[in-house]
């Protein structure tokens, strides 16, 4: 089924007016019950009944459209007024408009009945303000106003929902972009600091470092507008990152990954999640060639577990607040899930959800 095409049909002006005409025709049948001449003449003056319904529909469409225009006009002119006051003004205007519309309907109904069918009952009821005519004209307007009000406010409610959802998505995306943009200067600054020292030691190693750095930064640029990447993509990115780390810390960092195939190919995480967790472990722990820092990544029960042995530095660096909190917020914004941070038996573990592709 082509829902987009159906939506265009339902929102078209032709469908809108045809649906109103159908509603008005049904209302005209109800109105006829207030005029006893239709009941008395049933089966005899069918043409009169249909002509009445036709005029009822035509005038009803005009009144209906007028009520909409009046509502919009009053809403626009009184947009600075308190909502309760604005509602009272709009309702009062519509009631006055309804009295005029009801009077016009009674007049047209009486005149057309005389001209086309030489019947004076409707005109006499109109000029004498009989109960049947007053009740009928009031029903005429109130039915139109009520039905239009339901449709008008339902449409406004749906538009408000759509606008609220759109603003919420834009707000979430803006927050996510702000968090993601923290990664670029933070990581690149650290990398350039290492390169500055390396160029004086080995030209060949510096060239390799620049090559891997280019791959890393290309990854960051390519994934800049993506909220999620596959775990395999992130692990491939880590190969270049760990090469740089190995040069900087003289192979005193050991990394191993045990992730099942389905999680690698179907599982997704926010870009640079693993890189930031590894960088966080390096920043807050001491290590050496004799006592290397071991970092492991493993998949377990729909989660990735990133663990390392805790050996706190004697003079720890002040936290920048970019690491764990950034990852936590990005998970909340992208999937509504959280991360778990635990420390047990000198092992620090961060548990991040694996977001599966549909």
The token pair at 325 is 């909190």
Confidence (pTM) = 0.52
> How far from each other are the two terminal CA atoms of the chain, in whole angstroms?
22
Q: What is the model's pLDDT at position 145? A: 63
Backbone angles phi, psi at 80, to 5 degrees: -90, -5
- Cross-sheet strand order for the sheet of 229-230: 229-230, 267-269, 355-356
164 and 303 in a common domain:
no
d(CA 37, CA 45): 10
Rounded to 10 degrees, the C-alpha dihedral 92/93/96/99 comes to -100
CA–CA separation, 97 and 88 (whole Å)? 14
- What pLDDT does residue 9 have? 65
Tens of pLDDT, residue by residue over 141-191, are 666 666 555 555 556 666 767 777 776 666 556 555 654 555 555 567 767
- The answer to whether position 55 is within a domain reads yes
Is the model more confident about 346 or about 67?
Answer: 346
Which DSSP letter does residue 338 get? -
Residue 278 has pLDDT above 80, yes or no: yes
Residues 52 and 173 in one domain: yes
In CATH, what number is assigned to the domain containing residue 343? 3.30.565.10
- Give the residues across from 234 on adjacent strands: none
Domain identity same for 126 and 249: no
Confidence of residue 1 (pLDDT cuts 50, 70, 90): very low
> Which has the minimum average pLDDT: 23-32, 44-53, 251-260, 328-337?
44-53
Q: Is residue 192 part of a domain?
A: no
Residue pair 20/49 in contact by the 8 Å Cβ criterion: no
Per-residue pLDDT at 333 exceeds 50: yes
Q: Examine the pLDDT at 233 and tell me if it is beyond 80.
A: yes
**Residues 118 and 239 reside in one and the same domain:** no
Residue 277 lies in a domain: yes
Beta strands in 120-263 (DSSP E): 229-230, 253-258
Of residues 176 and 299, the one with the higher pLDDT is 299
- Is residue 272 a part of any domain in this protein? yes
Copy the structure tokens of residue 2. 């082509």
Domain presence at residue 189: no
Please indicate, yes or no, whether residues 250 and 346 belong to a single structural domain of this protein.
yes
Handedness of CA 162, 167, 170, 175 (dihedral sign): negative
Please check whether residue 215 lies inside any domain of the structure: no
Are 167 and 38 members of one domain?
yes
**Contact (Cβ atoms closer than 8 angstroms) between residue 339 and residue 324:** yes
Cβ atoms of residues 285 and 248 within 8 Å: no
For residues 139 and 285, membership in a common domain is answered with: no
Q: Of the candidates 177, 212, 243, which is a domain's last residue?
A: 177
- Same domain membership, residue 146 and residue 12: yes
What's the chain's average pLDDT? 76
* Burial class (CB within 10 angstroms; exposed 0-12, middle 13-18, buried 19+) of 87: middle
Count how many residues are written for the chain: 358
Same domain as 44, residue 147? yes
Domains identified in the chain, total number = 2
pLDDT confidence band for 3 (50 / 70 / 90): very low
Residue 262 to residue 252: CA distance in whole angstroms: 31
Burial class (CB in 10 A: 0-12, 13-18, 19+), 118: exposed
- Which has the higher per-residue pLDDT, 199 or 138? 199
Which run of H or E residues covers position 245? helix 231-248
Domain end, chosen from 118, 144, 177, is at: 177
Write out pLDDT tens, residues 108-130.
777 877 887 787 777 777 776 65
Confidence grade of residue 304 (pLDDT, cut at 50, 70, 90):
very high
CB neighbour list of residue 8: distance below 8 Å, 6 or more residues apart: none
Q: Are strands 303-309 and 340-344 parallel, antiparallel or unpaired?
A: unpaired
Q: Per the domain annotation, does 200 fall within a domain?
A: no
Give the residue with greater pLDDT, 319 vs 194: 194
Residues sharing a CB contact under 8 Å with residue 169, sequence separation 6 or more, in sequence order: none
Residues 270 and 348 in one domain: yes
Cα Rg, the chain, nearest whole Å: 37
Higher pLDDT, 351 or 30: 351
Residue 69 lies in domain: 3-177
- Asked whether residue 337 falls in the same domain as residue 232, the answer is yes
Band of the pLDDT at 303, cuts 50, 70, 90? Answer: very high
Task: Name beta bridge partners: 191.
Answer: none
Residue 206 lies in a domain: no
Q: Please indicate, yes or no, whether residues 14 and 86 belong to a single structural domain of this protein.
A: yes
């Amino acid at each position: 089924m082509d829902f987009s095409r159906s939506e265009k049909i339902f929102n078209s002006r032709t469908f809108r007016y045809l649906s109103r005409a159908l509603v008005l025709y049904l209302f005209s049948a109800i109105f006829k019950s207030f005029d006893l001449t239709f009941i008395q003449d049933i089966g005899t003056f069918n043409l009169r009944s249909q002509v009445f319904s036709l005029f009822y529909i035509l005038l009803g469409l005009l009144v209906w459209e007028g009520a909409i225009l009046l509502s919009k006009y009053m809403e626009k002119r009184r947009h600075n007024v308190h909502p309760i006051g604005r509602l009272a003004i709009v309702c009062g205007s519509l009631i006055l408009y309804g009295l005029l519309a009801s009077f016009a309907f009674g007049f047209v109904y009486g005149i057309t009945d005389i001209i086309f069918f030489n019947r004076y009952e409707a005109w006499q009821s109109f000029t004498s303000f009989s109960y049947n005519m007053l009740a009928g004209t009031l029903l005429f307007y109130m039915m139109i106003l009520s039905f239009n009000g339901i449709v008008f406010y339902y449409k406004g409610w749906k538009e408000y929902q759509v606008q609220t959802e759109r603003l919420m998505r834009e707000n979430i995306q803006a927050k996510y972009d702000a968090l993601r943009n923290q990664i670029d200067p933070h990581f690149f600054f650290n990398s350039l600091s290492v390169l500055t020292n390396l160029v004086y030691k080995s030209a060949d190693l510096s060239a390799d470092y620049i090559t891997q750095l280019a791959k890393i930064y290309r990854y960051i640029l390519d994934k800049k507008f993506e909220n999620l990447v596959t775990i395999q993509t992130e692990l491939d990115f880590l190969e270049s990152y760990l090469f740089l780390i190995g040069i900087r810390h003289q192979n005193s960092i050991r990394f191993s990954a045990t992730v099942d195939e389905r999680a690698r190919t179907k599982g997704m995480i926010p870009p640079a999640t693993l890189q930031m967790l590894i960088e966080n472990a390096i920043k807050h722990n001491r290590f050496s060639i004799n006592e290397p820092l071991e970092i492991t990544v493993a998949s377990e029960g729909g989660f990735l577990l990133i663990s390392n042995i805790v050996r706190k530095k004697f003079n720890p660096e002040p936290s920048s607040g970019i690491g764990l909190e950034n990852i936590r917020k990005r998970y909340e914004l992208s999937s509504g899930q959280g991360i778990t941070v635990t420390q047990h038996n000198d092992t620090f573990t961060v548990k991040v959800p694996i977001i599966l592709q549909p």
